Amino acid sequence: MAINAAIPGVFGLDKIKNKYPDHYTDVGIAEQESVAFAAGAAKEGAVPVLFENSTFLQRAFDQLSHDVAANDLPVVMMVAGGGISGTSKTHLGIFDQV
């Protein structure tokens, strides 16, 4: 199951979306929701792969720690734009360097 927060083009997810629409979810600009959704899917037996942009993932630290990590759930994460390698000054993942 592929889950993303309004960035399918960054990861080339259009192919998955078109070929496996039942295994693709775009939650919109809602990173916290995407992590919580992935946790819920994993708890129900799915194998979620979460696609996120580093700079926006910092908003979902509570969901990462409480929903995913504390419950030891198997959520796979693909994160783009780590460090000072983002596409613009609004997309720098500087907090992942701490």
Residue with tokens 């979620």: 48
Helix H or strand E segment including 3: strand 2-4
* CA torsion, ordered 79, 85, 29, 65, to nearest 10 deg: 40
pLDDT at 54: 86
pLDDT at 85: 66
90 class by beta-carbon count within 10 Å (0-12 exposed, 13-18 middle, 19+ buried): exposed
pTM over 0.75: yes
What is the chain's length? 98
Which one-letter amino acid corresponds to residue 34?
S
Tens of pLDDT, residue by residue, the chain (98 residues): 999 999 888 899 999 999 999 999 999 999 999 999 999 999 999 999 999 988 888 889 999 999 999 999 999 999 887 777 656 777 766 666 55
Count the domains in the chain: 1
Give residue 46's domain range.
Answer: 2-97
